[in-house]
Amino acid sequence: MTFEFLEQAKSGDRRSLARTLSSLENGLVKIEEVLDVIGPVPLPINSDWQTLAITGAPGVGKSCLLDGLLRSWAEKGLRVAVLAVDPSSPRTGGALLGDRVRMTVVDDKELNELIYLRSVATRKASGSVPVIVEDMTKVLLALGWQRVIIETVGAGQSEVRCAALADRIVVVEGPARGDGIQAEKAGLLELADAVLVNKSDLPGAEVHADEIRESFELGAGTTPPVLLTSAIQGSGISEAAEMLLMLSSSGRSTRARWRERLLAYHERKILESPQLDELLEKLAKGSILLDEALHIIGGEHNE
């Protein structure tokens, strides 16, 4: 099958790139077909990361902080793509997809060509990042975007799906979000390769940063850097941008990354089943057992 828009995306046409990502998202084209046209995913240079997950609880200023980081990277000439994941309504399936509103860098004519922003709805995905994001990341890297940032939907005990997708994990924290014990309990905080305590202009930011550093010192692996930033005032942004470009893995998320990749693989098989909606209807009516549904899905992939 010939997809002319893939060739156009390869030549740098952004409209065709958007169509390529939408086609992947809607299941109209497979990642193997796309890469056959646009070329392979490049290998990382030395130990540099290609993908970075930025996550944090709602209200800590992730999008505004990311806007400042993108501006700093673009001013250095880096081509950076962002996949901003928005939560879908579990009832309607709709999503706000409003990250572009908070990103002023895309309106800068001088820097716009170096930044690509795409909102992605979580849809049926069970974790904070839908499985299709992995395919989108491969496309962006194959098309020459040097770094891909995955902005995820909040942070919590169970939201570690980004560990399966990204080379590095950055957790954004805010002031007065709890004591050191709470910091130790936060699932993603335990896996972080770096922590940015944003809104450092507010009271409690420095205390919270110190508590996080203390909790890291009690754990295993390399102690991740903890920096203070203020997206509103612009303080600490350039330092954070420079640090993140050179960020090494803390080694804390290796096991979790493989666990999440296994879970993502099985989740993908379920979500891509052509019988999924029918099976969900039967499960809801009680006319089929869960084990039977899993057996049917498993049989599809063994054919």
Give the DSSP H or E segment for 243.
helix 237-245
So what's the pLDDT on residue 102? 60
Tell me whether residue 215 is in a domain.
Answer: yes
Tell me whether residue 197 is in a domain.
Answer: yes
Please report which confidence band the pLDDT of residue 19 belongs to, taking 50, 70 and 90 as the band edges: very high
CB 173 within 8 A of CB 59: no
- The number of folded domains in the chain is 3
Per the prediction, the chain carries an average pLDDT of: 82
Residue range of the domain that includes 17: 1-39
Q: What is the mean pLDDT of residues 186-210?
A: 86
Pairwise pLDDT comparison (298 vs 288), residue with the higher score: 288
| Residue 35 and residue 11 share a domain | yes
Identity of the highest mean pLDDT range in 42-56, 114-128, 223-237: 223-237
Please report which confidence band the pLDDT of residue 22 belongs to, taking 50, 70 and 90 as the band edges: very high
Side by side, which strands form the sheet with 226-228?
115-121, 80-86, 147-151, 51-56, 168-173, 194-197, 226-228
So what's the pLDDT on residue 187? 60
DSSP symbol at 106? G
| Residue 59 and residue 13 share a domain | no
So what's the pLDDT on residue 269? 82
Please report which confidence band the pLDDT of residue 220 belongs to, taking 50, 70 and 90 as the band edges: low
| Residue 129 and residue 116 share a domain | yes
So what's the pLDDT on residue 128? 46
So what's the pLDDT on residue 97? 45
User: What is the value of pTM for the model shown?
Assistant: 0.83
| Residue 252 and residue 292 share a domain | no
| Residue 171 and residue 92 share a domain | yes
So what's the pLDDT on residue 177? 53
Q: What is the C-alpha to C-alpha distance for residues 238 and 73, in angstroms, rounded to an integer?
A: 9
So what's the pLDDT on residue 66? 94
CA 129 to centroid of chain Cα atoms: 6
pLDDT over 70 (residue 246):
yes
So what's the pLDDT on residue 197? 95
Two tokens at 92? 């309607």
So what's the pLDDT on residue 89? 38
- Percent of the chain surpassing pLDDT 90: 44
CA nearest to 31, candidates 23, 230, 71: 23
pLDDT over 90 (residue 290):
yes
pLDDT over 90 (residue 143):
yes
The model's pLDDT over 159-184, given as tens digits with 9 standing for 90+, comes to 566 667 889 999 998 886 554 445 44
| Residue 11 and residue 126 share a domain | no
So what's the pLDDT on residue 261? 76
The model's pLDDT over 77-125, given as tens digits with 9 standing for 90+, comes to 999 999 988 754 333 343 344 455 566 777 777 888 999 999 887 655 5
Tell me whether residue 269 is in a domain.
Answer: no
So what's the pLDDT on residue 99? 53
Two tokens at 121? 């709805």
Tell me whether residue 160 is in a domain.
Answer: yes
| Residue 244 and residue 281 share a domain | no
| Residue 145 and residue 119 share a domain | yes
So what's the pLDDT on residue 2? 61
Tell me whether residue 252 is in a domain.
Answer: yes
CATH of the domain at 64: 3.40.50.300
Tell me whether residue 266 is in a domain.
Answer: no
| Residue 230 and residue 189 share a domain | yes
| Strand 80-86, strand 115-121: pairing | parallel
Tell me whether residue 264 is in a domain.
Answer: no
| Residue 204 and residue 64 share a domain | yes
| Residue 174 and residue 102 share a domain | yes
| Residue 50 and residue 15 share a domain | no
Q: Which residue has the tokens 């030395």?
A: 46
Tell me whether residue 263 is in a domain.
Answer: no
The dihedral over CA atoms of 234, 161, 185, 232, expressed in degrees to the nearest 10, equals 10
What is the three-class DSSP state of 88? Answer: strand
